[in-house]
Amino acid sequence: MLHLRNLLPHSGKALFLLGHHHVNNWKSSFQLEKTIRFFNNNHKRHKKIQSSLPSIDQLTNARLIYSVAPSMGHNQEDHPESHFRIPSIVNALGEMKLTPKFRGSEVVKLQHFEPASTDHIASVHARDYVSELEKVIDQALEKGRHSKKNKDLEKGLVFIEGSGPTYATSTTFQESIVAAGAGLALVDTVVAASKINKDSPTGFALIRPPGHHAIPQGAMGFCIFANVAIAARHAQHVHGLKRVFIIDFDVHHGNGTNDAFYDDPDVFFLSFHQDGSYPGTGKFDEVGTGDGEGTTLNLPLPEGSGDTTIRTVFDEVIVPCAQRFKPDIILVSAGYDGHVLDDIASLQLTTGTYYMLASGIKQLAKDLCGGRCVFFLEGGYNLKSLSYSVADTFRALLGDKSLASEFDNPNILNEEPTKKVKQAIQRIKCIHSLWSSHLSHRRRKSIVQDCCGP
């Protein structure tokens, strides 16, 4: 076990690892194996390269811009957050003809981007954590090379104490700053495109390790650095986009992003997640503090919530919050582990749900902030549902018709807990004063008494 003393969070909570029979099923795909070999070869010969944004000509017709940082060296066998995730997505995008090869100038893949700097990371994380992490990992692995008592260290693995089952390898630090850099490059590109297009193309960072659990003091819950939070600070500091609206639809609460902006009135963090899931945070009454009170919204949803629930959440919670906040850019923590086929949690989202969310968020960005919007991959551990759902997200962002019906099976869905969902949504609307202008004063007063007390 790796000890980072006070650099990392101390928590008694644990994450439960899930079985990865679906990983083995996808390993057998010839095309996937080819994709993995390609990423592994690039990983081995990776060199620092000069960042360069796409040209104005490339951005003129672009509708979707994406970056890829698969972190192939950051891997633990049979861990849900494995290096098969990004290759599986990229393979699916190719098979479904959603890449520049098939879509031409509509889709742009960023080819060159620099890793995030220490200053970028330290805009969110404690500088001591950033400066010491790589050193401590190297020291632990060096010690492990001379020890036969710890099999994980012998395999080149360390586990970061107090962070859930968050592992690290000799390449984790470098690959994590590359992943964060891929997000920053997308923000730069989307902002540049918004200056030449009235409707800016949407960005999607296909990156790992994920980031929304990483708190300012350190790693947590599979996450090393807080990719979305770092991008938010970059948008503010470099591009002058003062007001940032963050939507987190991962099945788990994005506690790291929550904590990074808890007292910041210029960043609105909105998360809906499964009630009672890891890490146990994200309660209704976590609304921010000081000047930031009211710019954090947490909506815990009951087990079994599905497509109907999320459509209501989008229409009655997300849209009015964003309209009231008036953001300059929207960032999205896009977690696909709420899918009904993903056994890490117990929601019933479908590929169609994710298409609806992506389509709605894109329209929201178009209406409110010139289309400036970047998605960041977070969770999603069933490789098949992850890949199909990201592909359908791409379709939504391109304005294509959803193909979710070819993948989703409505026969496996149970009835949603309608009464509990209604109570949860009414409660959050009460806390954050999200009332329809058509609601009568008497009806509003009745709902407040029912949900919030007299």
Residue 357: which of 436, 232, 248, 226 has the closest Cα? Answer: 248
Pick the closest to residue 230 from 47, 51, 376, 379 (CA basis). Answer: 376
Cα dihedral sign, 29-33-34-35: positive
Cβ neighbours for 316, distance < 8 A, ≥ 6 positions apart: 425, 429, 434
Q: Which residues of 56-74 are buried (b: 16+ CB within 10 A; e: fewer)?
A: eeebeebbbbbbbbbbbbb
In 20-49, which positions are buried (b, 16+ CB within 10 angstroms) versus exposed (e)? bebbeebeebeebeebbeebeeebeeeeee
Could you confirm whether 438 is annotated as catalytic? Answer: no
Token digits of residue 296: 């954090």
Distance CA 154, CA 142 (A): 9
Three-state SS for 78? coil
The rounded distance, in Å, linking the Cα atoms of 239 and 329 is: 10
Reported as type and span, the H/E element at residue 83 is none
In degrees, rounded to 5, the angle at the alpha carbon of residue 263 between the alpha carbons of residues 431 and 232 is 105
Catalytic residue among 20, 120, 213, 234: 213
Residue owning tokens 């994980």: 152
In 46-201, beta strands by DSSP E: 64-69, 107-109, 158-159, 167-168
- Residue 324: both structure tokens together: 């009231």
Q: Which of 373, 1, 11, 445 is nearest to 204 (CA)?
A: 373
Measured CA to CA, the distance from residue 115 to residue 18 in angstroms comes to 31
Q: What is the dihedral of CA 380, 385, 390, 395, to 10 degrees?
A: -160
Burial category of 216 from C-beta neighbours within 10 Å (exposed 0-12, middle 13-18, buried 19 and up): middle
- Amino acid letter for position 99: T
Active-site residue list: 213
